Amino acid sequence: MARVIVDVMLKPEILDPQGQAIARALPRLGFSGVAAVRQGKRFELELEGPADDTALAEVRKMAETLLANTVIEDYTVRVEE
């Protein structure tokens, strides 16, 4: 069993209203020092086998097919130690 993390974030050029709302809420809550916030998604996949090259290529296909909208989102795949 291996755990693979897929992080999905809006591409930098795509407006992120959720992140902007958080950034604007922080000063109202008394927090300072944050210039910008972006919000994205994180998926934890428990694989049945080891996280070898074949499995990671398969996870990348899952990310492109189901987890991310590659028109507006970027994704990264990594194995959790």
Binding site for a second copy (CB under 8 A): 1, 7-9, 19, 22, 25-26, 29, 31, 33-49, 55, 58, 61-62, 65-67
Residue 29 C-beta: closest distance to a second copy, Å: 6
Q: Any idea of the CA torsion for 7, 11, 17, 19, to the nearest 10 degrees?
A: 50
Nearest to 36 by CA among 48, 49, 46, 26: 26
Q: Between residues 33 and 71, which has the closer beta carbon with respect to a second copy?
A: 33
Residue 65 C-beta: closest distance to a second copy, Å: 6
Identity of the amino acid at 16? D
